[in-house]
A and B are shown apart, each in its own frame.
Chain A
Amino acid sequence: MSVQTRLIDLAVKFGFLLLMAGLLVFFSISAPGFLSPHSAVFVFQSVAITGILALGVTATLVVGGFDLSIGAVATSALMLSAYVMVVWELSAGVAIALCLLMGAGVGLVNGLLIVKARVPDLLATLGMMFLLIGLQRIPTEGRSISTGMTLPDGTVARGTFSEFFLMLGRHRIDFFIERLIPLSVIFLLVVALLVWVFLEFTRHGRLMYAIGSNAQAAQLAGVKVERYKIMAYMISGTLASFGGVLLAARLGRGDVASGTNLLLDAVAAALIGFAVLGAGKPNAFGTAIGALFVGVLLQGMTMMNAPYYTQDFIKGAVLVVALVFTFAFTARGSRGA
């Protein structure tokens, strides 16, 4: 009995890390070239943007909410940054600042809808998602933004993406091997570290977890529940818009068709994060590992020449397994304790 529960505990705690290690070993053996610095970097680069978005969602999950609008915020930031630089011909700094402001603003509206207007979180952010998907296409009548495009009023857009802006998404830092680590990976690590420290080690993170666990009790203990909830959505919106800026910098154009997978990947990463180390709750470290997991899986499958259209299926399957890990096993653990 006790051996059995201990085994289950171990499985819950290290199951996902073991699964990931197994995956790494499997791909290293069966996909030649998988185990190389450049392949590793490619994995990191592919998870950088979804990872940043996932860390934002994590903040909303911590307070017991959910943010479905992150994908749309990111693509809106992608279009907005392109519009600012290409059409308005303003600097990269202005573009970045406006994008982050837009993200924070969307987060604020989400938060107000949820806290003040009492719209359920899934519905509020779903509505916001549709709104943004539509809104970002209006200024260009649904077309992508690039230098030399003709605007609806007949003029030609003359602005360009500045070198500095493109560097955010394309520059690589020398690390043992020349041009090894993309800048976006550095951004991911910094954001992950900040969110992790904020949620785990500051008073604010503590209170946000308290809200997610029992909002009523937190309120009666003097926690400003509404303020923290709004803040969580603003963190989510801001990080999503930052992810959008990095996407724009990588693409070098305001591509309307990009970023469709961001929501699924980011949400999957955050939810897989529940299962990492048996946390059973949203956490920044788990989210980062979850994002990495998705990245490893996709890179490995790509290198084994699995068709692209099987990827969503595999991601979905992994997510379902992770959710079972989290809810079936950890719920039993806490009840039994």
Chain B
Amino acid sequence: MTQNALEIRNMNKAFGANSVLRGIDLDLPAGQITVLMGANGAGKSTLVKIMCGVQAADRGTMLLDGQDYAPDTPHAALRAGIVTVHQSINDGVVTDLDVASNLMLDRIAAGSGLFLRGAKLRAEAREIAKAVGLVAPMTQPVALLSLADRQLVAIARALSHNPKILILDEPTSSLSDAEAQRLFTLLEGLRARGVAILYISHRMSDIRRLADSILCMRDGVISGSFTKTPLDYSGAVRAMLGHEMTEVDITIPARGAPVLELSDLRLRAQSRPFDLTLYANEVVAVVGLVGSGKAQLANTLYGVARPVSGTMRLDGQSYAPKSPAQAIARKVFMAARDRRSNAVIPDFDIGRNFTLPFTRRHSGFADLISRKSEKTLSVRMISEMGVKCQSHADPILSLSGGNQQKVMVGRWMAEEARLLILDEPFQGVDIQARRDIGARIRAQSAGRATLVLVTELDEALEVADRIVVICEGSLKSDRPNREIDVASIMAEVADSPTEAVTERQGA
């Protein structure tokens, strides 16, 4: 029986009425790598923030090596031996400083004496760098290092604190394969030295390589815990994404003419090319984990990103948008994911948020906007989308998340689209709003093609006529939404055909 470096019992955390963590129990055994999986909004980041002293829990206890542990600042967590390497690599380094200063940053910041002694500093830094196999010159500015080396700097700095617990948040998301391998070797070394590692990731290949156990989070609870070898990877994905029987009946409509035809499309340099055709009247859901290429697909169709190769045709005409404006001109609309940064205009009221993409429709002589026409549309859209508000002139931020999202989706329903893309339209909305939005998407789908990109299979089952799985930048399967074998889709989403597992283990 290994000893637990950290034990969390009955941890709760709420932001206002929104319960983010609900009775979390979690053990991190020393000398093991525990993988934590969870979709966006599952509560992972809140949990990590509490562990590293950025936020305080409302209720619950943490025991660090059997001692009560309740850090009130990140610095306290660091002193106690809990070290976090954040997802965004540049958050962990000061790019303008050289390697040595970065490695010694905490000691410099803690500060004793007025002047820095360069030679001594560099000598100590070199020791730290050697421990992680970082070979960059100590005097080189971090800005000139590769991403992988920058991350090594962040990790090396973390390790100089002799951590008991190391938390890594999606550390491989911007690394190449070779760089990731180097990181894995390093982590395995740390594991052998008895460090408890919490590894947050969605990449199944990372997880297979590293995990001693897997914890899954969903809606603020631990929804699955897998410790027995061999680990049940598709079981873990199922626990993370969850699946309840949906109450929505899908009647698949008659397929219209092809609207969007993708052929030999390659989203990333290393990914397999794929074909996809979307037809009028149908709603197609693309299901994939974070980093599966979903976002890239949406961005490519909307002119935000360019495909590596392949062709796209819209209504038989060649289609290669260079900007969202060009996509919109071809009647391809997209409700972007992460509405707070990509969709909401916080200073605008509800009505103006509705009309933003099509102001031309409401303006006449000298491009003057007709408030009357604008009001007519927003009042109609508010009732069609079922937005709960007092008036169209209320600030957008006075609405709940679900109602904001209705405005963001409704914005694109005011005009007839050829192709409507909805990237994570159910992100951060409650179940009722999700049903409402899904019903609207389906009710208006006649005549256009609709593409919905989601992480959770439930959402796809509720809204789509056809479900496509995306993984590693390429499409894996394509099936109509009737009598779906949930387990097999889950396995595809998790990318776990058995031969892949043995191949990696053999390597």
Contact = CB atoms under 8 A, between A and B. Distances in A.
A281 B395 CA distance: 14
A334 B395 contact: yes
Contacts of B395: 334, 337
A197 B360 CA distance: 17
B341 interface: yes
Interface string B356-396: 11011011001111000000000000000000000000010
17 contacts: A201-B369, A202-B363, A206-B359, A206-B369, A210-B345, A213-B347, A214-B341, A214-B344, A217-B343, A219-B324, A222-B327, A223-B325, A223-B356, A224-B323, A281-B347, A334-B346, A334-B397
Give the interface residue-count category, chain B. Answer: 20 to 34
A202 B366 contact: yes
B367 A204 contact: yes
A332 interface: no
Contacts of B362: 203
Given A222-B325, A337-B397, A216 B369 contact: no
Contacts of A218: 345, 356
A221 B411 contact: yes
B341 A222 contact: no
Contact of A203 (B324, B367, B398): B367
Given A216-B341, A216-B342, A221 B356 contact: yes
A220 interface: yes
A44 interface: no
A6 B325 CA distance: 42
Nearest to A336: B398
Interface in B291-347: 302, 304, 323-325, 327-328, 334, 336, 341-347
A213 B367 contact: no
B88 to A, nearest CB: 17
Interface centre among A202, A216, A218, A220 (most CB of B within 10 A): A220
Contacts of A214: 341, 344-346
A310 B357 CA distance: 49
A207 interface: yes
Interface centre among B352, B356, B357, B397 (most CB of A within 10 A): B356
B348 interface: yes
Contact of A217 (B325, B342, B367, B369): B342
A222 B328 contact: yes
A210 B356 contact: yes
A209 interface: yes
Contacts of B360: 203
Contacts of A203: 359-360, 362-363, 367-369
Interface string B263-292: 000000000000000000000000000000
B20 to A, nearest CB: 20
B368 A201 contact: yes
Given A201-B368, A202-B369, A213-B348, A224 B325 contact: yes
B361 to A, nearest CB: 10
A93 to B, nearest CB: 26
Interface string A186-206: 000000000001000111101
Interface in B20-74: none
A276 B302 CA distance: 40
Contacts of B359: 203, 206-207
B334 A220 contact: yes
B368 A217 contact: no
Nearest to B370: A201
Contacts of A334: 346, 395, 397
Interface string A306-337: 00000000000000000000000000001001
Interface in A130-151: none
B341 A206 contact: no
A209 B360 CA distance: 15
A209 B369 CA distance: 14
Interface centre among A212, A217, A219, A221 (most CB of B within 10 A): A221
A206 B87 CA distance: 36
B324 A222 contact: yes
Contacts of A216: 341-342
A202 B397 contact: no
Interface string A210-246: 1011101111111110000000000000000000000
Contacts of B324: 219-222
Nearest to A227: B325
Contacts of B304: 220
A206 B362 CA distance: 12
Interface in B429-484: none
A261 to B, nearest CB: 31
Contacts of A223: 325, 356
A221 B334 CA distance: 8
For the complex of A and B, 3 pairs with smallest distance between CB atoms: A213-B347, A222-B328, A203-B359
A256 B187 CA distance: 67
Given A214-B344, A216-B341, A220-B336, 8 more contacts: A203-B359, A203-B363, A217-B342, A218-B345, A219-B323, A220-B342, A334-B395, A337-B398
Contacts of B347: 209, 212-213, 281
A204 B343 CA distance: 19
Nearest to A220: B336
Contacts of A209: 347-348
Interface in B213-251: none
A260 to B, nearest CB: 34
